[in-house]
Structure 1
């Protein structure tokens, strides 16, 4: 295995992490922005107000996208395990 293959594996791993985290972080960002705008317009400055909506949205996003996220992780892991015999040579 040469350095190019190692760099490719690391790049693919980082890319998969980005793809799997982006929808969850995007949902948290959007709900955080909505709550922040609500706080600014109503002059409510409670720090804990953003916690519950973000937690609920993140849990809902994981519930909705969990099957897809698991499939992506499974395919990547199977691909890595299938590469093991070629790495032993």
Structure 2
């Protein structure tokens, strides 16, 4: 196993991590921006009004996206295990 193979696997892992985590972070970002806009329009600056909707939105996003995330992770892991003999050369 040379350094090119290791770097390729590491690159694929980082890409997969970003690909899986970006939708959840995007949901949190959009909800945070919408709540901040609503707070600035109504001039209500309460911290729990930002925190609670973000938590609920991220949890709902995880609820709906978790099967897709697990499918991607399992496929990557299976591919890694199947190709392990080729990597060991």
Could you say which TM-score interval applies, normalised by the shorter chain? over 0.9
Residue 36 in 1 paired to residue 7 in 2?
Answer: no
TM-score of the superposed pair, with normalisation by structure 1: 0.92
Query: Counterpart in 2 of 1:52?
Result: 52
Deviations 1:53-81 (A, max 9, x none): 11111111111111110000000111111
CA distance in 2, matches of 1:42, 1:84: 58
Deviations 1:35-56 (A, max 9, x none): 0001111111111211111111
Query: What pairs with 1:1-89 in structure 2 (closer than 5 Å)?
Result: 1-89=1-89
Root-mean-square deviation (Å): 1.1
> Unpaired segments of 5 or more residues in structure 1?
none
Larger RCO, structure (CA 8 Å, separation 6 or more): 2
> Unpaired segments of 5 or more residues in structure 2?
none
